[in-house]
Each structure stands twice: as structure tokens, then as C-alpha cells.
A and B are shown apart, each in its own frame.
Chain A
Amino acid sequence: MKSDSDPIFRPGDRVRVRNAAPLGHVRTPFYIRGHAGVVERVCGAFPNPEELAQQRDGLPAQPLYRVRFRQKDVWPGYRGSAEDVIEVEIYQHWLEV
């Protein structure tokens, strides 16, 4: 049976981080918002920390992904290798196609 905690993305999928700036407690770092990357792995599903921070149960659990970005895409004027990557763990509701 399909549940709300099933991942909708798979390793290799291209995703973009939502460019949002809500109030409340947010785990998606500012520097990665709006950037495109590739799903490296599905980490599992966990209670949503945005809800846990407000004394609620955070259910249904949100799928969490490790997403890989190119350093040169993230940092303007990046001087390292063009192959360098940064991986950030991001919850599903922060990702779009």
C-alpha cells in the first residue's frame, strides 16, 4: 500500500530545491535554496522537524534525501575543481522537479 511517507524521487532523479523563506524552524540551508541537483540516495523517512519544533508529532514522516550539487553551481566564483560536489540532506517537501 502507498503511504504519505513513500519517496517520490529515486537516486539519479534531477530535483530543484524550493526557493522559499518561511518563518518557523527550517532545516534547508539558505545557500542551497533554488539550486538544482541530483538525488544521491533516499535516507529514509523521518518526522518532519518543522513540526517537531512546534511540539507537534511531525507525522506522516517525510522522506529525506541526500542531494548532490556541483560546488561551482552553488558558489559564485568557485575556484576548486569543476567536479567538486556538495551533498545536502533535504526533506521531500522542499524538493520539486
Chain B
Amino acid sequence: MIERSHHDMGGLEAGKVKRREHAYDDWQLRIDAMMMLLNGIGGGRKRMTVDELRKNIESLPPADYDKMGYYDRWVISLTQTMIQRGVITTDELARKLAEVENRKWGQSQISGQITQGD
């Protein structure tokens, strides 16, 4: 029987909290925007709830949970949620990931310019 779930760490020894602001990477901002859109904030169709996001974050293996940052957990969790809801299929995701990995980087990248992918 699971008594305390790994994520449910309120009251456990955690050491000192480092209080500092930090800048966000572009991908983190995009994940944030994606979450807002999928939650229907701003008037679009609501495609998930924050409770599903939390459920799927809580389902991460403890070792991964500890290694991951806030937005790493979000991106994994909202992807799981989209699969569970049938918005995307596992197969579509696998093929898209392979396609991105094999993408041929053009001359423009080599000279330092970023070309926007699809």
C-alpha cells in the first residue's frame, strides 16, 4: 500500500530554500502558453483540467520527478493528458519526435541563424 505519494512532501526535511529569480528559456514560455491555451484561458476550447495535469505529474517515477524542473514536468504531463484524451496518438507523437530528431539542419543554422521549424 502506498502511504505517502512521492510528490506529497509537505513537512519533510528539505534544507534551505534558495530564493532567487531566474530568466525563463523560450521553450518554457511556450509550454506555459500551451498550458493556457489547452485550459481554455482566453476563451478557447477547454481541452484539459489542471487536475489532470497534476495527476500526470504525480505519476512520474520518483527519480525522474526529482531530476525534472517545473516545466519539464509540465511538458511530460500535458503530453500524457493529450494522449489520454485522444487529441494525439502515441504513434503520431513517436513519428513526430523521430522526424524532428532527423531534421536536416540547413545552412542558415550553421551561420548562426535560427530557421523556424513547422
Contacts and interface: CB of A to CB of B under 8 A. Distances in A.
A53 B51 contact: yes
Contacts of B1: 21
Interface in B29-63: 49, 51-52, 54-55, 58
Contacts of A75: 11
B98 interface: no
A25 interface: yes
Contact of A21 (B2, B51, B52): B2
Nearest to B58: A25
Contacts of A50: 51
B8 A29 contact: yes
A85 to B, nearest CB: 15
A25 B56 CA distance: 9
B5 interface: yes
Interface in A12-36: 21, 23-26, 29-31
Summarize A's interface: helix, strand, loop or mixed. loop
Interface residues of B, number: 16
Contacts, number: 39
A55 B85 contact: yes
Contacts of B69: none
Contact of B52 (A30, A31, A55): A55
B84 interface: yes
B5 to A, nearest CB: 7
Interface of A: 21, 23-26, 29-31, 49-50, 52-55, 74-75
Given A52-B51, A52-B52, A75-B11, 15 more contacts: A21-B2, A21-B4, A23-B2, A25-B51, A25-B58, A30-B11, A31-B10, A31-B11, A52-B49, A53-B49, A53-B51, A53-B54, A53-B55, A54-B55, A55-B52
11 contacts: A21-B1, A21-B2, A21-B3, A29-B8, A29-B10, A30-B11, A50-B51, A52-B51, A52-B52, A53-B52, A53-B54
